[in-house]
A and B are shown apart, each in its own frame.
Chain A
Amino acid sequence: MTAAVAVRRRAGTLPAGFFLLLVAISAVTPDLFTPYDPYATVPAEKLLAPSAAHVFGTDELGRDQFTRVLYGATHTIGITAAAVGLALIAGLVVGVLSGLTGGWPDIVVMRAVDVLVSLPRLLLALLIVTAFGFGAVPTTVAVAAGIFPGLARVARAETLKIRTLPYVEAARAGGASWLRSAVRHVLPHSWAPVLALALLDAGTAILVISTMSFLGLGPPPPAAEWGGLIAQGRDHLVAAPWLTLLPGVFVGLVLLSLDHLVRSLGRDVP
């Protein structure tokens, strides 16, 4: 990588980070950024084109589309955080334990993880949703199941690396139980690469969640998950294209910023 490129990357990091920060804040307190109620219908003002009053226009019930995108962040980012958190915990526990234990349990667990990796994430999610129904909780579980194997692999690899470090071996030889050595020595060192991967996975999670809502399998309205918003707008693709295009660009910018941020933090994106 040339020095010039590195500088440019850092240059873009600030706006990307700032944008993500705004989105994150709007996910917590969307009412800071908009005077409208996302659920209040105003039949007289339906399908208005974008204007100063309605930056993203209004939907078929006269609701402000920009407000719905902001409130949608609550759902999308909420599910993303829950899914990544769930996968993070499961991945760390499985990966670290498997790596520390070694032997045949390690082989069995890692083979199972390989199997999950070999299934495309969206299909794994569809499988889980078929079994457990639609909505926010099944979506969370489905997305977490897709992210977890990668995290488990990285956590295990880090554990193996750390396990053979002299001081850890010394601690174990000194009679420390493996649970103790896991908590004291392995976890503190292995979480950093896992966390970097988790941040990257957050982008994937947003993609899968919005795709599932788009396919009609996400959280129910009036919750306006981003994919659901885009899906609802496509009925008006000809007459009111902004209803799909503007939220779509918004989601794209979030993912682009996330991707940019992860790269800037020094992780190579495959």
Chain B
Amino acid sequence: MTRYVLGRIATALGTLWAVYTVTFVVLYLLPGDPVTQLLAAGDVAAESLSAGQLADLQARYGLDRPIHDQYAHHLWRLAHLDLGESFTRNVPVSGLLADRLGPTLALGALAVLLAVAGGGAIAVMAVSARSGVARFLLRRLPAAGVSFPPFFVGLLLIQIFAFRLGWFPAVGSDGWRTLVLPAVTMAAPAAAMLAQVLTRSLDRTLAEPWVVTVRATGLSRFAVVTRHGLRNAAPAAVNVLGLLLGATVAEAVVAETLFSRDGLGRLVQEAVLDQDVPVVQAVVLVAGAAVVAINLVVDLIHPMLDPRVTAMRRAG
């Protein structure tokens, strides 16, 4: 067991380093010159810098060094949690991340809660509802949830709940009320995916012979599902949940942009438009780290949910 845990941790660290290398290769071997970005924005397109001033700027961001030197230098800084300085905002990237992490975490947490509650409820009802029509509709509903683009779902929510009904603000970062619509936007596809996985697992459980025995004792379909089915579905659900948690930042890009919320998602969207390379790199790294960390946790939880995994890992 200890070997398994240590092995997983080593793999996670290795993956993180590799994610960093991928971002570096993609971003720093790019054709454009990031320095010109410092001058390009807004009302004025200024190109009034002298060659000397240009060189100063390059030196300031370390862009004048050879590429392998930059790589080593950045990696060394990263090990000290220093992510460099934003090209367009004149502030350290780590400060920007620290400011924006909180709102995104709050949004992500609420979205996951809604997704688990919504997805679980749909799955349980889909297999245990009395009416055949209801079961059929509940089984089809998640496919729709996965198919409609999140930005469209968000626009629909704004249209209905902000503009027409006025229940929630369409925009902003202040107060819990601004959290609701973006969280629902993020939760919709996640809940749908979770519902699909759970429904499938519950179907399998209900088809097993022992269920017939249990039901003969007078237990209702609903009781079987909630007492036995969900327990059996847990490993698969944890996998999906891990996947969804890891995608929080990516999902937040659309939700935060659409609802003008502060957070990592909007930060990276703006940084892409500005070609603010250090910020894009940092947010992708954070997202990658989240995925790696969550995979690690999922891997470590799995043996507890299902002892066969440890044995299988050893064998394979």
Tell me the dominant secondary structure on chain A's binding face. Answer: helix
Report the contact-size class of chain B (Cβ under 8 Å from the partner). Answer: 35 or more
Apart from the given pairs A111-B18, A255-B146, A270-B197, 13 other A-B contacts in the complex at a CB distance below 8 Å = A8-B136, A119-B19, A120-B246, A120-B249, A127-B23, A127-B26, A127-B284, A211-B149, A211-B254, A217-B272, A230-B149, A237-B159, A255-B149
Taking Cβ atoms with an 8 Å cutoff, the residues of A that contact B are: 1, 5, 8, 111-112, 114-116, 118-124, 126-133, 203, 207, 210-211, 214-217, 227, 230-231, 234, 237-238, 241, 244-245, 248, 251-253, 255-256, 258-260, 268-270
Q: Which residues of B does A touch, CB under 8 Å?
A: 14-15, 18-19, 22-23, 26-27, 29-32, 136, 139, 143-144, 146-152, 155-156, 158-159, 163, 193, 196-197, 200, 203, 240, 246-247, 249-250, 253-254, 257, 268-269, 271-273, 275, 277, 280-281, 283-284, 287-288, 291-292, 295
Q: A258: nearest residue on chain B (CB-CB)?
A: B147
Contact B272 A252 (CB under 8 A): no
State whether A120 touches B250 (Cβ < 8 A): yes
**Interface core residue of A115, A210, A241, A258 (most chain B CB under 10 Å):** A115
A211–B273 Cα distance when bound, in Å, is 14
Q: Could you give 12 example pairs across A and B, Cβ below 8 Å?
A: A111-B15, A112-B18, A119-B22, A123-B287, A123-B288, A203-B147, A230-B149, A256-B143, A258-B147, A259-B143, A260-B143, A270-B197
Please indicate the chain A residues that have their CB under 8 angstroms from the CB of B200 in the complex.
Answer: 268
Query: Which residues of chain B have C-beta atoms less than 8 A from A112's C-beta?
Result: 18
Of A8, A115, A121, A227, the residue contacting B250 (CB under 8 A) is A121
A126–B268 CA distance with the chains assembled, in angstroms: 8
For A126, list chain B residues within 8 Å (CB). 253, 268-269, 272, 280, 284
Q: Are B284 and A119 in contact (CB under 8 A)?
A: yes
Q: Is the CB of B250 within 8 A of A128?
A: no
Chain B residues with CB below 8 A from A230, complex form: 149, 151-152, 155
Expressed in whole angstroms, the Cα–Cα distance for A245 and B26 within the complex equals 36
- Is the CB–CB distance between B275 and A130 below 8 Å? yes
